[in-house]
Structure 1
Amino acid sequence: MSESGLSIKQATSIDGSIEPHAPILQMPPLGQLVYKVTSIDNLLRSISEMYLHFNRLDAYSDFEKADLHDGEQTHQDKPINSQVNFEKNPEFTVAHYYNQFRSRAYACCFSLENSPNLWKNYGAQGVKGKVGIEFDFFKLRSYLNTTLQSNSAALMVGDVICKQIFSINYGIVKYVDWYQHREALEVLPNPITYVYLKDQKYSDEKELRIYLSTIGIGHFGMKDGSIMEFPKGLMFTFDFRQAIEQGVITRLLVESSEEAQSLSLELNKHHMKVIVAQQI
């Protein structure tokens, strides 16, 4: 069980969808490599426990340059969305709907470039140094979609198996002036529009985002009568050794030859053969 209490594992039963919003999201070209920088400590933990970590969109506040407005309605849209309500529940506005959608959406973030900005701002926690994981995006996409295919995935809430309610989507983030930009014009935007909007001050991140989301209205009940809670983190089952063997992960990058040697020894314990190169 993940420490967050919420995880997606291979099992049975599914209600979520595979890329339902692909037509309105921007995809990178075929052959695109994407990068994630984390601490070596976190990588080794993820390998041992076999997961990719997804963060809830409204919970990005645990590092210095976190975007506190991640996935939120833009400053100009909030007043507009607050004026539109639902006929059967007049006190529940579209703004409430977007907020609730955001509180149930999870993102795993990558960069389209192996940039100095990425290494400067990410992977600070841990005592063993940083590591950059290089993925073949389209193989990663195929791998995750396969995990979520019908009759092969389940949502685990603690030790309880539930229906898999999350849909998965992929896309490149669009950078705008978050305080001036409007999406609520002639029609109200799809809530995932906000998932893929970030303030232009973050444009150096060149982010590609994988996100998991479910509907932003109502509640999800458990068999014991309680309401399902959505913790800050979600663990998506991910076999790193299998991903390396299938070319999903192409290589690992570290900052020194000493870290490369140390990490290679750790990976050997897991019988994992992957290129560990020094970051230039």
Structure 2
Amino acid sequence: MEIVGTEYPFPMGAVEPHAHALRQPPESQLLYKIMSAQNFVRSISGNYLHFQRADTYGDDKSDGEQLPLDRPFNEGPRFEKSPEYSAARYYDESRSRSYACCFSLEYTPYIWQNYGNGDANGKICIEFNFGKLRKYLNGVVESSINSGTLMLGEIRCKQIFSINYGIVEYVDRESHRNNETVLPNPESYLFLKDKRYKDEKELRISLSAIGVGKFECNPGVPLVFPAGLPLQLEFKKAIDAGIIVRIIVSSDANRAYIGEALERIGVRMKIDEGE
């Protein structure tokens, strides 16, 4: 893969390049992720965590988008060698190349009620240890950076994604500004959400590529960023290592369906019942 439309060298991904600007919980923090039983079985069968492209969320159409009051000011600054390319366009492009995997910092009725719905097999909650999960995923990303390659679906490409972790800040999107003094890093918009979502109490993991230039898999073949992106997480290893602390199922969950999927990867563990 190469990047065209810019004179800058190809930008490889990095591990937590924006950690200094993001709020993070202590290493011992527990995280909670709700998903449908079907998506859980897919994830453990494929050994991955699912990341969703920021501009494709169905519930929050403005996820990761620059704030309304920011956009007019972001339209002003232009790139010296590409005067038609504004900072606002840069933020939009960055958003279309950024992915998120979402967790809650608290185990609450809210997350049970609002996520993982619509599956006759019920839903599950995975309880993670933040510090151990962070170390594991950083290792996965660092390994792909060292090897220089990443699988994007069926496409083998250079490792263009950086991983970051942060606690989401909830603001009034209509009145808040993020660019009053300086142009913010595009990553900051991924960790701002409207205050109506504050009950999520979200910890977000992002995978993002830069928003300038155009990526090509092969000469003349543009890279299409898919709506979803899997990042390796070997569930058996994660359970054995204490990265996954507990698996909790809804009261209406199909325990046999979930248990069989765990047995197929060689895992037998106590499954707790939640909401």
| TM-score higher than 0.5 | yes
Runs of 4+ off more than 6 Å: none
Query: Residue 42 of structure 1 contacts residue 126 of structure 1 at CA under 8 Å; is this kept in 2?
Result: no
Match of 2:99 among 94, 106, 130: 106
Give the match for residue 187 of structure 1: 182
State the alpha-carbon separation in 2 of the partners of residues 192 and 53 from structure 1: 19
- Give SS of 1:256's match: coil
> What stretches of structure 2 of length at least 5 have no aligned partner?
1-10
Measured after TM superposition, the shift of residue 140 of structure 1 is: 0.5
Matched, 1:215 2:206: no
Matched, 1:97 2:90: yes
Query: Residue 147 of structure 1 contacts residue 153 of structure 1 at CA under 8 Å; is this kept in 2?
Result: no
Query: Residue 166 of structure 1 contacts residue 214 of structure 1 at CA under 8 Å; is this kept in 2?
Result: yes
State the alpha-carbon separation in 2 of the partners of residues 149 and 200 from structure 1: 34
- The C-alpha deviation readout for 1:69-121, integer Å capped at 9, x for no partner, is 10001111011101221122121110000000000000000000111110111
- Give SS of 2:218's match: coil
- Give SS of 2:43's match: helix
Aligned positions of 1:70-81 closer than 5 A: 70-81=63-74
Percent of matched pairs sharing the same residue:
49
Matched, 1:36 2:29: no
Give the match for residue 267 of structure 1: 262
State the alpha-carbon separation in 2 of the partners of residues 225 and 114 from structure 1: 48
Measured after TM superposition, the shift of residue 229 of structure 1 is: 1.0
State the alpha-carbon separation in 2 of the partners of residues 130 and 171 from structure 1: 25
Aligned positions of 1:107-126 closer than 5 A: 107-126=100-119
The alignment of Structure 1 onto Structure 2 pairs a total of residues equal to 263
- Tell me which moved more, 170-179 or 77-86: 77-86
Give the match for residue 160 of structure 2: 165
Q: TM-score, normalised by structure 1?
A: 0.89
> What stretches of structure 1 of length at least 5 have no aligned partner?
1-13
Q: CA RMSD in A?
A: 1.7
* Amino acid aligned to 2:211: G
Give the match for residue 255 of structure 1: 250
- Tell me which moved more, 171-180 or 42-51: 42-51
State the alpha-carbon separation in 2 of the partners of residues 58 and 265 from structure 1: 35
State the alpha-carbon separation in 2 of the partners of residues 38 and 149 from structure 1: 27
Measured after TM superposition, the shift of residue 210 of structure 1 is: 0.2
- Give SS of 1:148's match: helix
Measured after TM superposition, the shift of residue 24 of structure 1 is: 0.4
Match of 1:231 among 217, 226, 248: 226
Query: Residue 250 of structure 1 contacts residue 274 of structure 1 at CA under 8 Å; is this kept in 2?
Result: no
State the alpha-carbon separation in 2 of the partners of residues 238 and 250 from structure 1: 14
Measured after TM superposition, the shift of residue 15 of structure 1 is: 2.6
Measured after TM superposition, the shift of residue 259 of structure 1 is: 3.7
Give the match for residue 84 of structure 1: 77
